[in-house]
Structure 1
């Protein structure tokens, strides 16, 4: 795991707050089996966003991930699928701030790329807003990036404590966002030689 990002996450956690500061976003194209990474995530410091949308055996994999997250005291949210989130007793991650079909009494997070999506995610009750992409990322190759200044501009529209960063995040890039960033999501920054 990126040592700088881990140190940043620990510093944010010491400031308080219930929601974990570090979030691992699964990516079936880059790592079909995310379980080895999840097994090594620091307890109580991390959350997992389960995104394996089209993976074969998604439900079975989701159940294994949910059990592992409970065992390791890691938060779990399911991207874009309220029914699967309910089945796994997990939170829900909204893409583009779009509300899920079901209202769940759980943690709701969202990825947002502009002010419209941010407002939509807030109306949907998202507690953590992953403003992205901050930097160039393999997940969204060619997407226009916000950069640190663009992230801060958009973050001003979100309540303090709800602002998160996503997209090309590592130990160096997270520090450029300043104290207003409450959480960070990443993919490769969490890899442990898997």
Structure 2
């Protein structure tokens, strides 16, 4: 699977993205060991006291395995680690607290990924010139039990109108990726279902 980024001059987001999670994947290092070179790791360990130590270990392994490291919500940590990009949660993108993150992304020519849960958020991501949006939850997911899902039809509609590459997140697996309308997903992100990618 490759990412089709049709906007010239921009970076290309990885088409396979492992998302770390303090509860479901407290130690992502083993999961990183099965990723192919060029896959991405989205470091989301927000609440742990050991985030900086975890981040350093993740960054070192990502370099050794030639993985693309994206740090969620903290462009300063991303810069310190030499990460390839930053991921902004939808709320942060919505409230406009972005000057530092956007400045770092543009000066250093790094990736900008933005979390989106609806069509309006995708519009904001496009306006911010994100390299990709993570659209979720596409299918039922253990991360957010009982949450309303986007589903394949709405995912396809929103992705076609988005104007930027869309990475599917939420209950994703190879089987679920095949259920999405052809050509609408630039990739998939998951916490627990990336084995064999």
Task: State how 1:1-194 maps to structure 2 within 5 Å.
Answer: 12-13=1-2, 18-44=12-38, 46-90=39-83, 91-96=85-90, 98=93, 100-102=98-100, 103-104=103-104, 105=108, 106-159=110-163, 162-177=165-180, 178-190=182-194
Q: Deviations over 1:20-49 (max 9, x none)?
A: 2100000111121111111221112x1010
Question: Which position in structure 2 is the counterpart of 1:8?
Answer: none
Unaligned residue ranges in structure 2 (runs of 5+): 6-11
Question: Which position in structure 2 is the counterpart of 1:9?
Answer: none
SS of the aligned residue for 1:134 comes to coil
Return 94-103 or 142-151, whichever deviates more.
94-103
TM-score with structure 2 setting the length = 0.83
8 A contact 2:34–2:195 mirrored in 1: no
Q: In the superposition, relative to structure 1, how do residues 55 and 191 fare at CA in structure 2: closer, same or farther (>3 Å)? A: farther
Distance in 1 of aligned mates of 2:22 and 2:155: 26
Q: What is the count of residue pairs matched by the alignment?
A: 178
Deviation at 1:101, TM superposition (A): 4.5
Distance in 2 of aligned mates of 1:16 and 1:50: 23
Distance in 1 of aligned mates of 2:122 and 2:193: 25
Deviation at 1:128, TM superposition (A): 1.1
SS of the aligned residue for 2:193 comes to helix
Distance in 2 of aligned mates of 1:132 and 1:84: 25
Unaligned residue ranges in structure 1 (runs of 5+): 1-11
SS of the aligned residue for 1:85 comes to helix
Deviation at 1:152, TM superposition (A): 0.9
